[in-house]
């Protein structure tokens, strides 16, 4: 399939995990992609894989800190100039941290909000004029099953993901008449760098985490599982999907 031939795409978090898998899926389907991340080494690995797969000529990588307004402003402007416009924004970048809520510091709380929620807002705000100019722009944001289901020790993280869902619904409505679609993916039970080390407290009660096993298959799915859904949502196959979230968790939260 070449659903993204001629489409101009910006992906955050492109240096690892689901972000990287999304970059490669969209490149494989013909997209022109700018992948950004705060992790320069991770971006090099993404570029190396693209070279091995013969898609490097359609990939540009750049270091960008989504939590820093000036970095976002400069980085998005450079990406749009490089691509000659923008059709799709995938806000995959984010962090996962865990703690007992009663021991959560304000710094801890604000760090999660700054990266996950504010970062998503800043990227979207800066990209919106170009996305609207395309006439059929798409924003794919990252929520989580944590936004709707109880994941203990992750109250701050869950709050950011719930905020992203609400933000996505709002912009989907606000810009619908200008051709913009905005959707969320809500991954759960996905094997990515973030979920491999969620930083649970040393005294965590693991009986509270019993419902984290998918009903399908024998374990967590790979990040390419989410990348495939993103490719559907961002393509014409998802043309009638907006203002909602798609849960991708193998039935963990049925």
Nearest to 33 by CA among 16, 17, 20, 48: 20
- Residue partners of 176: CB distance under 8 A and separation at least 6: 242, 243
Nearest alpha-carbon partner for 241 in 185, 186, 181? 181
Tell me, yes or no, whether 254 lies in a domain: no
Length of the chain: 254
Please say if 175 is a catalytic residue. no
Q: DSSP per residue over the chain, as a string? A: --TTTT-EEEEETTTSHHHHHHHHHHHHTT-EEEEEES-HHHHHHHHHHHHHHT-GGGEEEEE--TT-HHHHHHHHHHHHHHHTS-SEEEE---------GGG--HHHHHHHIIIIIIHHHHHHHHHHHHHHHHSS-EEEEE--GGGTS--TT-HHHHHHHHHHHHHHHHHHHHTGGGT-EEEEEEE-SB-SHHHH-----TT--GGGG-S-S-SSSSSPBPHHHHHHHHHHHHSGGGTT--SEEEEESTTTT-
Residue 217 pLDDT greater than 80, yes or no: no
Range of the domain at 149: 8-248
Domain membership flag for residue 158: yes
∠ CA 172-175-181, nearest 5°, is: 45
For position 11, what pLDDT does the model report? 99
Q: Which of 4, 121, 157, 175 is catalytic?
A: 157
Question: In angstroms, rounded to a whole number, what is the distance separating the alpha carbons of residues 81 and 76?
Answer: 9
Calpha distance 217→83 (Å, rounded): 39
pLDDT at position 210 = 65
Mean pLDDT of 90-104: 97
How high is the pLDDT of residue 187? 95
- Does residue 39 fall inside a structural domain? yes
Query: In the prediction, which pLDDT does 208 show?
Result: 85
pLDDT category at 214 given cuts 50, 70, 90 is confident
List 90's β-bridge partners, or say none: 11, 140
CATH number at residue 161: 3.40.50.720
Mean pLDDT score, 43-49 = 98
- 2, part of any domain: no
Assess whether pLDDT exceeds 90 at residue 34: yes
- Average pLDDT over the chain, rounded to an integer: 95
pLDDT (tens digit, 9 = 90+) per residue, 165-199? 999 999 999 999 999 999 999 999 888 766 667 78
Higher pLDDT, 151 or 142: 142
Tell me the mean pLDDT in the region 21-30: 98
Percent of the chain whose pLDDT exceeds 90? 83
Average pLDDT value for residue range 237-243: 98
CA 132 – CA 45 distance, rounded (Å): 32
User: Residue 250: is its pLDDT beyond 70?
Assistant: yes
Burial per residue of 42-67, b for 16 or more beta-carbon CB atoms within 10 angstroms, e otherwise: bbeebbebbeeeebbebbbbbebbbb
Mean pLDDT of 25-30: 98
Count of the separate structural domains present in the chain: 1
Say if residues 125 and 180 touch (Cβ distance below 8 Å).
no
pLDDT at 212 over 90: no
């Amino acid at each position: 399939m070449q659903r993204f031939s001629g489409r101009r795409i910006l992906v955050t978090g492109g240096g690892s995990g689901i972000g990287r898998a999304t970059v490669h899926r969209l490149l494989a389907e013909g997209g022109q992609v700018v992948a950004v991340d705060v992790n320069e080494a991770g971006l090099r690995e993404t570029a190396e894989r693209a070279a091995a797969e013969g898609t490097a000529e359609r990939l540009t990588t750049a270091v960008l800190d989504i939590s820093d307004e000036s970095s976002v402003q400069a980085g998005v402007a450079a990406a749009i100039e490089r691509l000659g416009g923008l059709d799709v924004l995938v806000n995959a970048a984010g962090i996962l941290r865990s703690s007992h809520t009663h021991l959560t510091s304000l710094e801890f709380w604000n760090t999660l909000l700054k990266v996950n929620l504010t970062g998503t807002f800043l990227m979207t705000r800066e990209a919106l004029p170009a996305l609207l100019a395309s006439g059929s722009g798409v924003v794919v944001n990252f929520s989580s099953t944590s936004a709707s289901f109880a994941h203990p020790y992750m109250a701050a993280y869950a709050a950011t993901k719930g905020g992203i869902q609400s933000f996505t619904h709002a912009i989907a409505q606000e810009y619908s008449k200008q051709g913009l679609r905005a959707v969320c993916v809500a991954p759960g039970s996905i094997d990515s760098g973030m979920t491999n080390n969620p930083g649970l407290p040393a005294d965590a009660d693991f009986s509270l985490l019993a419902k984290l096993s998918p009903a399908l298959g024998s374990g967590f799915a790979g990040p390419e599982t989410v990348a495939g859904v993103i490719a559907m949502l961002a393509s014409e196959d998802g043309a009638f999907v907006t203002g909602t979230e798609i849960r991708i968790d193998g039935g963990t939260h049925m």
